[in-house]
């Protein structure tokens, strides 16, 4: 009998990659710091998170380093969260 177990990493990077691959056009709605609604999708969030992770790596932030955030609970913080977690910091 086949096992129902998932044979995929359940890391933050893998979850974001799955969202970008299979749900890239799924809309995400958040509220900006100015109070306006912002609309984006998982594909955009993944792209921005990957760019930020690359920027942090190019600044010399080594894997395993501590990285803190202080941001409003909106799309930008979601992107920062995925960038930092996916980059290994």
Domain tally, the chain: 1
Q: Could you report the per-residue pLDDT of 2-38, keeping only the tens digit for each? A: 777 777 788 999 999 999 999 999 999 999 999 999 9
Is 6 part of a structural domain of the chain? Answer: no
Is 40 part of a structural domain of the chain? Answer: yes
Residue range(s) defining the domain that contains residue 76: 12-87
Residue 1 has pLDDT above 90, yes or no: no
Q: Could you report the per-residue pLDDT of 57-80, keeping only the tens digit for each? A: 999 988 888 888 899 999 999 999
Is 7 part of a structural domain of the chain? Answer: no
- CA dist list (Å): 28 to 5, 6, 8, 42, 63: 29, 26, 24, 7, 29
CA dihedral sign, ordered 42, 46, 52, 53:
positive
Is 5 part of a structural domain of the chain? Answer: no
82 SS3 class: helix
d(CA 43, CA 56): 20
């Amino acid at each position: 009998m086949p096992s129902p177990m998932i044979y995929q990493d359940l890391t933050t990077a893998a979850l974001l990659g799955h969202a970008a691959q299979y749900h890239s056009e799924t809309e995400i709605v958040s509220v900006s710091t100015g109070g306006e609604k912002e609309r984006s999708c998982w594909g955009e969030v993944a792209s921005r998170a990957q760019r930020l992770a690359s920027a942090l790596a190019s600044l010399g932030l080594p894997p395993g380093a501590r990285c803190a955030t202080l941001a409003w609970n909106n799309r930008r913080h979601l992107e920062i969260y995925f960038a930092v977690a996916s980059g290994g910091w």
